[in-house]
Amino acid sequence: MDLRDQWNRLLPHAQPLGDDLLARYAEQHRHYHDQRHLTEMLETVDELADLAEDPETVRLAAWFHDAIYDPTAEPGENEELSAQLAELELSAYGVPAEQVDEIGRLIRLTAKHDCDPDDANGAVLCDADLRILSLPADRYDEYATGIREEYGHIGDRDFARGRMTFLQGLAGTALYATSRGHERWEAAARANLSRELSTWAPKAARPISGLIPMIYLGAALGVIVAASVLLGRGLGAAAHWPAAADESTGFPVWAPIAGTAVAAALTCAWYRRVQPRLVTIPALALIGLGVIAIGVCWWRWPAAQPGAAMSERWPYLMLASVALVLAGALLALARRLRLAPPYALAPPRALGLGVTLVCASLLAWIVVSAGEPFVQARLETANTVSTTTTVPPGVLPVQLDGELAWSREVPATGAIAGTAGGVAELRSDGVVMSDATTGQIRWRYARADVDGAASSGSRGLLVSGDGRTLAAHLPYAGNRAPSGIDLPTYAVLDAGTGKPLTEVHTDGTALAVDANQLLVAEGKYVVAHGVSNPTHWRTRLQCTVTQGVLLADQAVVVDACDDNHAVVRGLDLTDGKQRWEVDLGIRFELSAELDPTTWVGDMVAVPDSREVTGLVWTGAAGGTLYQWAVDVGEGRVLWTSPVPGTPRPRLGASSCDAQLTATHASLVLVTCRTNNEAGQVQNYDVSASSPADGTTQWHHLLPVPPKLQRPQYPRDGFGMLPDGRVVTLMPQPDGTCSPVLVGTTGILPRPIVAGPTAASVADTKKVTCDKPAVTVADGRPIFSDNTRLFALN
């Protein structure tokens, strides 16, 4: 084809303009956008002329479409300048204005080749401009080489990335707008594009950069699986909290199975390198579903009620919804990076699949592990400080101004307990009673044949409800036991005088004591040993006895059965016969036979009432603690309530020795939570609830440093004041050790203030927080740090 003849047939009166255009297409910097390209384009227009509305206008647009070509120009700039040149020159040569406008429009279309099939002129021009893509491989390679030479001022890697971006943009849509072009040239063009992309990919990619999309893919898959697990936990949670034992619907296993199936399908789609939209559509669907679910959760999330935590359902569902949005975003980002030139070079399939699986597993574990603290934090927002008073009538709140009242060094102390006679210390060889006001020793009970009594801890010292009688566990040292006695001894003492009331030799565990008898558990037997009277009886129960209290007319005990339930029984004090029994209706849900002392916790009597309350641990949700109350007059369960927050460690001195105490108006609980990271701060729950129905009156999370995290700390390290608040010793940021009050007004440190004497100043500096123990005697908090015993005003 002779280009000059072609021009003269179009505009015979504009030969100078044709010469100018041919000169432009012959410029030295053109290696592809030259006269050959113009010739091929005009030949294609002739081939498609019958599809155009105005073939002559399309031919003129073809002549001008690359009239101005500068490889350093911004995208679209060359086409815009070429269109302006055509509009200026053609108008000067008398071409009708409407035709000139159409030519300008057509030229501008070639900037992005975004041509509508219904635009006949535009479709023909765009197909002609892209015809080079479908030509035989040798001609296509000449075209690709020419383009590289035109952009010789750009480095190989940058050019490779830019070229791949351009080619991928073309490949992402239909290449040819006319039906004829699509039928004849589409397949060949895509084959050429794929071949060129494969040559540029190694040059565009950084070393191992192809793994980056795999990492994002793995992260997305892991979050999808985690979202399905969280969804299952949310759907399996009871709708309300506190929840009865039969309200939990169980974990729906279909949720994680469905999530894993979705992740597997996406993995197959990715590695089979299917159409990108098969990855984009699920990404958008996940984001949309997550946003809708977040809206639903936000709308349905119940308002926080002071003193009662919401169900775990909504925090888990909210977390699963957020995870879906995150998964969709990660998946979309992975797909985009996969198409980006720097990351387009795929690694070996085995390596990519391995990286994907590792990242998926890691992200799934992280999200699920992080979900538990999130849920517990949301539950705790419902437990705010209550204004409910816990002070019994006629009892004034303890001020605890922090002034050191008295202090003295003591040998290793196993336990301290407040009594009507003062503060009792369990030492290795017996018991010492000190005045709570002055610290002076009032009496001492020691035995030469006893050693190691202090090792019994707080459970080695029992005090009666009126504080007038105490029982101390005194094991014999080595072979010092009296002749004919091979069992440890419980010494029952008068708290006011230290007078021994009786000695009981038993290998059982003392449950409770008063002025009349000592109640002991010996496996499935309950034994009452007379103190001030000769009453003695022995009763066999169905299961292992774990807890007991003595009331005015009966003994109340709890026995834990191997078939996963606990029974509370009332026994007559005169002969041990059973008056009533009640099943708590709480199943332990334990798969293995364990020590019943890890199932059943403290049981206490509510002062001036016919109510006893206690703790039961179950294996549900990784460890759930239940609190219960029973009316001992009628022998019926008043209420049972799960303590908010799971999982919790088992009860008992080997795990978490939770403490439950009672005032007239409050049940105060101190218990620890499972600590997932050794050496980190652990939260302890300190809360008060109503004896009437178990509703929370106040609740606080107390951060406990690692040095205090002992199973015995909840029991030994907290004392309850007469006004219902609890007090403990806690290290402070400045390195000192000071009491901390916890109650309706929050968590309040009370620094120790030295008294007026020099000795008091010195004693203040000696106080440490090593193995703290706290009790209350005569309304005054008494503290021990295992080396000193001291009291504060």
358 in the same domain as 417: no
Is 194 in the same domain as 215? no
In a domain, residue 216? The reply is yes
Which tokens hold the place of 538?
A: 């022995």
CATH number of the CATH domain containing 133:
1.10.3210
Of 280, 283, 171, 279, the residue nearest 224 (C-alpha): 283
Assess whether 215 and 169 both reside in one domain.
no
Picking from 62, 63, 101, 104, the residue whose alpha carbon sits closest to that of residue 81 is 104
Residue 387 lies in a domain: no
Tokens of 88: 């200026």
Tokens 């994002």 belong to 216
* pLDDT < 50: residue spans in the chain: 304-309, 382-397, 484, 758, 761
Going from the C-alpha of 203 to that of each of 155, 196, 214, 567, the distances in angstroms are: 10, 12, 20, 76
| Whether residue 195 is found in the same domain as residue 229 | no
Q: Is 385 within the bounds of a domain?
A: no
Phi, psi (deg, nearest 5) at residue 278: -70, -15
Contacts for 772 with CB less than 8 Å, ≥ 6 apart: 708, 713, 716, 717, 728, 729, 737, 783, 784, 785, 786
State the residue range of the domain holding 87: 3-204
- Flag whether 273 is in a domain: yes
Which CATH number goes with the domain that contains 432? 2.130.10.10
d(CA 318, CA 262): 20
How is the beta sheet containing 624-631 ordered, strand by strand?
A: 600-605, 611-618, 624-631, 636-642
Q: Which of these, 62, 78, 75, 54, lies nearest to 21 by C-alpha position?
A: 62
Domain end position, chosen among 204, 230, 245: 204
Number of Cβ within a 10 Å radius of residue 401: 9
Statement to judge: residues 180 and 221 lie in one domain? no
Asked whether residue 631 is domain-assigned, the answer is: yes
| Alpha-carbon gap, residue 648 to 685, rounded angstroms | 11
H or E stretch covering 791: strand 788-792
Q: Please give the tally of structural domains in the chain.
A: 3
Domain presence at residue 71: yes
Please tell me the distance from the alpha carbon of residue 561 to that of residue 115, in angstroms, as a whole number: 80
In terms of domains, do 519 and 570 share one?
A: yes
3-state secondary structure labels for all residues of 589-621: CCCCCCCHHHCEEEEEECCCCCEEEEEEEECHH
The continuous run of DSSP H or E covering 150 comes out as helix 137-150
Locate 242 and state its tokens.
Answer: 């506190």
- 333 lies in the same domain as 427: no
E strands, 467-599, where? 469-474, 489-494, 500-505, 509-513, 517-522, 525-530, 536-540, 544-550, 554-561, 565-572, 578-583
CB 86 within 8 A of CB 60: yes
Separation CA 640–CA 630 (nearest Å): 9
Segment (H or E) for 279:
helix 277-300
User: Alpha-carbon distance 558 to 576, whole Å?
Assistant: 14
Residue 308 lies in a domain: yes
pLDDT for the residue 618: 83
Task: Tell me the pLDDT tens digit for each residue of 780-789.
Answer: 888 887 778 8
Distance CA 783, CA 772 (A): 7
Helix (H) or strand (E) holding 37: helix 35-47
Instruction: Find tokens 């309304």 and name the residue.
Output: 779
> What are the Cα distances from residue 256, in Å, to 104, 140, 252, 321, 459?
58, 50, 8, 14, 45
**Are β-strands 746-749 and 773-777 bridged in parallel, bridged antiparallel, or unpaired?**
unpaired
Long-range contacts of 533-542 (CB under 8 A, 24+ apart): 535/573, 535/574, 537/574, 537/575, 537/576, 538/576, 539/571, 539/576, 539/577, 539/578, 541/569, 542/567
- Does 255 share its domain with 125? no
Could you tell me if 188 and 316 lie in one domain? no
Which of 204, 226, 253 is the C-terminal boundary of a domain? 204
649 and 708 co-located in one domain: yes
Q: What angle do CA 293, 297, 303 make, to 5 degrees?
A: 170
pLDDT, residue 309, reads: 47
Residue where a domain terminates, one of 346, 380, 414: 380
Among 395, 459, 414, 430, smallest CA distance to 664 is for 395
User: Is residue 184 domain-shared with residue 240, that is, in the same domain?
Assistant: no
End-to-end CA distance of the chain: 111
Q: Do both 596 and 459 map to the same domain?
A: yes
Sequence-ordered list of residues with C-beta below 8 angstroms from that of 528, at least 6 positions apart, any chain = 517, 518, 519, 520, 535, 536, 537, 538, 555, 573, 576
Q: Choose among 625, 659, 645: nearest CA to 699.
A: 645
Within a domain: residue 48? Answer: yes
